[in-house]
Amino acid sequence: MIESVAKGDSKPRQLLRRLIVIGLSTLVVGYLAALIALVVVQRNLIYLPANAVQSAASIGMPRMRELRLRTADGERLRAWYRAPAAGRPLVLFFHGNGGSIATFASDYQPLIADGDGLLAVEYRGYPGSTGSPTEAGLIADGETAYAEAVALGFPGRRIVVIGASLGSAVAVAVAARRPVGAVVLDSPPSSAADVAAARFWMFPARWLILDSFRSDLRIGRVRAPLLIVQGDHDTVVPIRFGRRLYALANPPKRFIQVPGAEHMAMGRVMPAVVAWIDTSLAHPDGVAGTPVPNLPAS
């Protein structure tokens, strides 16, 4: 009797084991499918260009000139240029991963109003520019923009490099190789690999990412005064990544933490940014190293 009960119990146990195997197999297949999809479409998640070209005049900047730049690898880039007032610097602006140069017009306006010049380049694959975006491509675009600034007659000490979000990685890459007067980074990731690993924690993102944008490895070669601006409610690039980049940077440097601000907070403190640029260019060896405001102890 006992033997027959044991045999009777074997069928439910076998069924349970089979269900467990099927369930685990489904999870593994689903995980691998999601992993493969992430690898295949990752650049579509990183680079989010706008669909249409907008003229500077259409967004209220009629005095902006449109330029066409050619990269060393043959791409044609659209750019906007406005010459500075006498004695003012040229801002070399690298926008974020979304939109276009037109998306960041609200950042340009206070700079232009202060008399600064502007050269904003449209990355390859973005509206009006040829090619497809990659890390190497965007950095080449940054180098092309810098070369254009020099060709326009601006020495390195009169060029201020500003990068917003992913554009900060382009700004750091350029400033690590070229002489510049000052560097401003708005909501910078220490690397795209760091952000990807935090967002996609369930995958080995560091091993799979194609465009890692390792600003953390490049920032130590930047010798110009540095300003980092970041909101303490940034959920796109959490502030710990900006603070990590700041810790790796050379002095003189300053970090402005913007209370309550989310991603790309520079517009909230633009008067302070403009003042910092002016002071840093006038006194490049010390004043940028003022105490870090609003930066909580970690």
The percentage of residues in the chain with a pLDDT greater than 90, rounded to a whole number, is 73
- For residues 273 and 277, give the distance between their C-alpha atoms in angstroms, rounded to a whole number: 6
What's the whole-number mean pLDDT along residues 216-224? Answer: 97
Q: What is the CATH number of domain 59-285?
A: 3.40.50.1820
Look over the chain and give the mean of its residue pLDDT values, rounded to a whole number: 89
pLDDT at 208: 86
pLDDT at 290: 44
Asked if pLDDT for residue 104 goes beyond 80, the answer is: yes
What's the whole-number mean pLDDT along residues 213-218? Answer: 97
Asked if pLDDT for residue 227 goes beyond 90, the answer is: yes
Partnered with residue 185 across adjacent β-strands are: 163, 228
Residue 48 sits at the vertex; the CA angle it makes with 55 and 192, to the nearest 5 degrees, is 125
Better pLDDT: 150 or 210: 150
pLDDT at 287: 52
pLDDT at 26: 76
pLDDT at 289: 46
Q: Evaluate the CA torsion angle 171, 172, 178, 183 in order and state its sign.
A: positive
- For residues 84 and 120, give the distance between their C-alpha atoms in angstroms, rounded to a whole number: 13
- Ranking 4-18, 34-48, 164-178, 193-207 by mean pLDDT, the lowest is 4-18
Better pLDDT: 191 or 30: 191
Q: What is the pLDDT of residues 138-189, one digit of tens each?
A: 999 999 999 999 999 999 999 999 999 999 999 999 999 999 999 999 999 9
Asked if pLDDT for residue 100 goes beyond 60, the answer is: yes
- For residues 147 and 157, give the distance between their C-alpha atoms in angstroms, rounded to a whole number: 14
pLDDT at 30: 74
Contact 156, 180 (CB under 8 A): yes
Per-residue pLDDT band for 106 (boundaries 50, 70, 90) equals: very high
What's the whole-number mean pLDDT along residues 75-100? Answer: 96
pLDDT at 245: 98
> With helix as H, strand as E and coil as C, how does the chain read?
CHHHHHHHHHHHHHHHHHHHHHHHHHHHHHHHHHHHHHHHHHHHHHCEECCCCCCCHHHCCCCCEEEEEECCCCCEEEEEEECCCCCCCEEEEECCCEECHHHHHHHHHHHHHCCCEEEEECCCCCCCCCCCCCHHHHHHHHHHHHHHHHHCCCCHHHEEEEEECHHHHHHHHHHHHCCCCEEEEECCCCCHHHHHHHHCCCCCHHHHCCCCCCHHHHHHHCCCCEEEEEECCCCCCCHHHHHHHHHHCCCCEEEEEECCCCCCCHHHHHHHHHHHHHHHHHCCCCHHHCCCCCCCCC
pLDDT at 295: 38
Better pLDDT: 41 or 251: 251
Q: Evaluate the CA torsion angle 270, 274, 275, 277 in order and state its sign.
A: positive
pTM of the model: 0.86
Closest C-alpha among 256, 266, 164, 182 to residue 222 = 182
Determine the residue type at 144.
T
Asked if pLDDT for residue 7 goes beyond 70, the answer is: no
Q: What is the pLDDT of residues 281-296, one digit of tens each?
A: 998 776 544 443 443 3
Dihedral angle at the C-alpha atoms of 267, 272, 278, 284, nearest 10 degrees? Answer: -110
87: buried, middle or exposed (CB in 10 Å: 19+, 13-18, 0-12)?
exposed
Contact 187, 265 (CB under 8 A): yes
Residue keyed to tokens 């603070």: 243
